[in-house]
Structure 1
Amino acid sequence: MADKIPKFSDLPLDKNGPHHNAWGLYGKDDELGTLNRLSNSIVKSAASEIKTGTRINIDWPLDAQGDLPFFGRQQFHKEVYQKPPRIVNDDVWTFNTQSSSQWDGLRHFGYQKEEKFYNGVTLDHIHGTNGVEKSNVNGIGAWADQGICGRGILLDYHEWRLKQGRPHSAFEAGHISADDLKAVAKDQGTEIKFGDILIIRSGYMAAYNALSRAEIEKMRAKTPLTFTGIEQSDEMMEFLWTSFSAAGGDHPSLEAWPTQKEYALHEVLLAGWGMPIGELFDLEKLGEHCKRVGRWSFFLVSKPVNVPGGVASPPNGVAIF
């Protein structure tokens, strides 16, 4: 199936659209983007990764950031209440879908200069402004039908760079190169297959968990916020385009933040290709297990919440070995 997608050098597909776009590859009304790569045959083949039945959660708790989420997002609130006279409880949750583990959907981040989302959708289509009818186009609910399920691979950059003795600061705008990620895969003996769901352990969670509240408050007050993540480069885009159906990691922006170039990877991945971006995944237990068993591939089951027109969703993700 890899030979059925255009080469990276063929992008942009829509020559009248923004840089590196793949608009129209799966039709003008497509809302799945690179999730189209998760064909039945690829998912069936990925099921061979299940050998022991061991299951590992990759969701951070919804309230993990408490009242100090980054990017000014609202904190998680939970209200549990009894329904007297019965001995019965209900609860109400109120939260920003991006204040903990999340998949960024196709409504989240558009091309900034062109003001366009995946397949040319505009803010008017989303908000129903300027005489355009409001719709649910590109909503996260479109991903709920089949979920994000397939072969997941963990590239444990954090473990690899520790072995290399390489410095790393999670809260500076450093970058992880495509060559770095390829070196991690080689060191782990992890084969990359077309349609894989890429998960990167950058070391953010380990660094965050070591911070005091005062240190988090100081980091949160920075303008702009700064994080080490994957680099903005043709090499990184080609690496992602060539093989993966989705890409996620353990920190707030996946890519180096703020962007080191005149564009952000969020623009190309979400608005250009329709590739889900995963952020704030809790990969500590997963990394420990992979290291212990010597295998960094698994079957990943993730079920975005079925909210028509939603912007993002908790992943509800489980890695199965």
Structure 2
Amino acid sequence: MKRWTNRPNGANWGDFGDDDQRGRLNFLTPDVVKRAVAEVREGKVFCLSLPLDLPGGNVLNPRRFPPKIEFSMRGEDPAINYPMGKLNPGQTDVVCDDKVTLSTQYSTQWDSLAHFGAVFDADGDGKPEVVYYNGYRGGEHVRGPFDYLNGRKPMPGPYGARALGIENMASAGVQGRGVLIDLMHHFGTEPKAIGYDELMYVLKTDGIEILRGDILCVRTGFDRVLIGHGGNPPAGVATSICCGLNGSDEKLLRWIDEAGIVAIASDNEGVEFLPTPKPNPMGTHVPLHEHCLFKLGIHLGELFLLSDLAEWLRANGRFTFLLTAPPLRLPTAVGSPVTPIATV
């Protein structure tokens, strides 16, 4: 079912089918995955996830909080060091069960395609509506308690992403060729917006070729900054140190489209450099999110742990690897923690 008359300028809506919910992950074909597996030469693995209680506090994002782990209950008893002999005299088993409350996008995480949309006239009737990738609608497919465009009108449940939820990314598998773009090595840790020209310099200098179906992994050094603060990062740290991709650079956005990459993961918060160097007072203030999640169906990963991998790859004259990074298969969620694994 086609859900739009107008599609945004530069969008690929409909290119993978009117009902597509995977976006550029459709490029992860069997041949692309086999090419990625061929990157494994040493059998050495790197965990690319921060401990999920980092960054610590909610300085990076006031709406996201560290995970809270609690014990489960067996009737009136906490199920930690619980002797089963309480139920069955003579039984020697001891059991522990717990539960966790977490913000799905607090630490190392993937954005689903329902994470970011726009107010856009997809119907062509002169009246904009809340729309997400491929024309899926706010209120109908991505459901919340209020219709904000109509006076905060209360909306009935159930709530959540009935389309474009993170489970679509999980079922796709997310296994492909990772390509390490080491911005820290070339530009240090000073805050800098990296556009097309700087990125092309890195690719040429390091001898990197980008192929359709690749997953771009952008190292800025921010992972080491967070770890160095030990769970207590100072206010403003996300915008005062390290570089990021310049979402205001039209040449960079065009390259992201034409290169055929399926996802971008970074060790910083937001992937793109914020605040954007050229904010549009009448449009988006996070142009890379708009371009990737809303227009092209390119998933974004944030706060990946990339520095150890980056240093090993450079020491061994490599920049590519097998990346395995499926999110939780959590239906209707708009994001998910992830424990990515790089195999070299």
TM-score above 0.5: yes
- What is the rounded CA distance, in whole Å, between the counterparts of 1:76 and 1:121 in structure 2? 30
2:90 is matched with: none
Paired amino acid for 2:303: L
1:44 aligns with 2:44: no
1:116 aligns with 2:131: yes
1:168 aligns with 2:168: no
2:252 is matched with: 236
Query: Kindly tell me: are residues 77 and 199 of structure 1, through their superposed partners in 2, closer, same or farther at Cα, counting changes over 3 Å?
Result: same
1:267 is matched with: 290
2:321 is matched with: 298
Query: Kindly tell me: are residues 84 and 205 of structure 1, through their superposed partners in 2, closer, same or farther at Cα, counting changes over 3 Å?
Result: closer
Greater gyration radius: 2
- Equivalent residues of 2:37, 2:176 under 8 A apart: yes
RMSD over aligned CA atoms reads: 2.4
CA-CA distance at 1:240 after TM superposition: 1.2
- What is the rounded CA distance, in whole Å, between the counterparts of 2:240 and 2:329 in structure 1? 32
Q: State how 1:282-321 maps to structure 2 within 5 Å.
A: 282-321=305-344
CA-CA distance at 1:69 after TM superposition: 4.6
- Equivalent residues of 2:113, 2:164 under 8 A apart: yes
Q: Please list every run of 5 or more consecutive structure 2 residues that lacks an aligned counterpart in the other structure.
A: 72-78, 85-93, 121-127, 148-154
- What is the rounded CA distance, in whole Å, between the counterparts of 2:210 and 2:70 in structure 1? 44
Query: Kindly tell me: are residues 68 and 202 of structure 1, through their superposed partners in 2, closer, same or farther at Cα, counting changes over 3 Å?
Result: same
- What is the rounded CA distance, in whole Å, between the counterparts of 1:296 and 1:188 in structure 2? 8
- Equivalent residues of 2:57, 2:231 under 8 A apart: no
CA-CA distance at 1:79 after TM superposition: 2.3
Q: What's the secondary structure of 1:218's corresponding residue? A: coil
CA-CA distance at 1:168 after TM superposition: 1.4
- What is the rounded CA distance, in whole Å, between the counterparts of 2:5 and 2:34 in structure 1? 35
Of the three residues 204, 208, 212, the one matched with 1:190 is: 208
Q: What's the secondary structure of 2:225's corresponding residue? A: helix
1:77 is matched with: 68
- What is the rounded CA distance, in whole Å, between the counterparts of 2:156 and 2:27 in structure 1? 31
CA-CA distance at 1:205 after TM superposition: 2.0
1:249 aligns with 2:266: yes
The number of residues matched between the two structures is 296
1:4 is matched with: none
2:198 is matched with: 180
CA offsets 1:243-292 (integer angstroms, 9 cap, x no match): 21111101111111123332321112101111100110011211121122
Query: Kindly tell me: are residues 127 and 15 of structure 1, through their superposed partners in 2, closer, same or farther at Cα, counting changes over 3 Å?
Result: closer
- Equivalent residues of 1:111, 1:268 under 8 A apart: no
1:24 is matched with: 14
- Equivalent residues of 1:178, 1:236 under 8 A apart: yes
- What is the rounded CA distance, in whole Å, between the counterparts of 1:218 and 1:191 in structure 2? 38
Q: What's the secondary structure of 2:268's corresponding residue? A: coil
Structure whose residues are more often helix by fraction: 1
Query: Sequence identity of aligned pairs in percent?
Result: 31
Query: Kindly tell me: are residues 138 and 89 of structure 1, through their superposed partners in 2, closer, same or farther at Cα, counting changes over 3 Å?
Result: same
Q: Which moved more, 1:272-281 or 1:125-134?
A: 125-134
CA offsets 1:182-235 (integer angstroms, 9 cap, x no match): 211222222211111000001222333444877x34327x9xx66742112221
Query: Kindly tell me: are residues 15 and 237 of structure 1, through their superposed partners in 2, closer, same or farther at Cα, counting changes over 3 Å?
Result: farther
Q: TM-score, normalised by structure 2?
A: 0.79
1:149 aligns with 2:172: no
- What is the rounded CA distance, in whole Å, between the counterparts of 2:340 and 2:225 in structure 1? 22
Q: TM-score, normalised by structure 1?
A: 0.85
Q: What's the secondary structure of 1:50's corresponding residue? A: coil
Paired amino acid for 1:74: F
1:219 is matched with: 236
Query: Kindly tell me: are residues 151 and 261 of structure 1, through their superposed partners in 2, closer, same or farther at Cα, counting changes over 3 Å?
Result: same
- Equivalent residues of 1:112, 1:267 under 8 A apart: no
- What is the rounded CA distance, in whole Å, between the counterparts of 1:146 and 1:17 in structure 2? 25
- Equivalent residues of 2:56, 2:231 under 8 A apart: no
- Equivalent residues of 1:205, 1:284 under 8 A apart: yes
Paired amino acid for 1:206: R
1:61 aligns with 2:51: yes
Q: Please list every run of 5 or more consecutive structure 1 residues that lacks an aligned counterpart in the other structure.
A: 1-13
1:92 is matched with: 99
CA-CA distance at 1:66 after TM superposition: 2.3
